[in-house]
Amino acid sequence: MLRAKEEWATGQVPECIRESQDAITRADHLVLFYPLWLGDMPALVKAYLEQVFRPGFAMQEAAPGRLWKKLLTGRSARIVVTMGMPGWYYRWFYFAHSLKSLKRNILAFSGIGPIRDSVIGTVESPDARHRESWLAEMRKLGARGK
């Protein structure tokens, strides 16, 4: 895990992270899955994203007073968030804050777009039809490349 801004901005990128960056460079579309834990993505997912989406790969500082240059344009993304609560409740009551943060502050900031999302709630439901409908939806999206 990164522990300081300097490490994020200028530290050495581990080989396994460089491999992820290479895969993202070759990709046209990214799909990220994560479970909602304590209202956000798990800490290890966030740590991974902090390692991968570093300056020089995801964005580059522009001249003083200018916005950062987005280096990952030309790619789209889908984020799939699973959770125990109903998905509509997460969107309505919590305003899907972790999802919005990932979309805006990491992916869009890097130039990725469009960014679509799927919120899958009540994943612990004993109703097998629920699970089958989610899986069918994911298969359909995958077949369409979305």
For residue 81, the cross-strand partners are 34, 119
The mean pLDDT value for 121-133 works out to 85
pLDDT at 144 over 90: no
pLDDT score of 132: 86
- Going by pLDDT thresholds of 50, 70 and 90, the confidence category of residue 127 is confident
Query: CA separation (Å) from 114 to 1, 5, 29, 108, 146?
Result: 29, 28, 10, 8, 10
The Cβ of residue 119 has, within 10 Å, a number of other Cβ atoms equal to 19
Name all domains of the chain by residue range, CATH numbers in brackets.
5-144 (3.40.50.360)
pLDDT score of 87: 93
pLDDT score of 10: 87
pLDDT score of 62: 81
The DSSP call for residue 47 is: H
**pLDDT tens-digit readout, 63-86:** 777 788 999 999 999 999 999 999
- Please answer whether residues 81 and 117 qualify as being in contact, where contact means their C-beta atoms are separated by less than 8 angstroms: yes
pLDDT score of 61: 84
pLDDT score of 65: 75
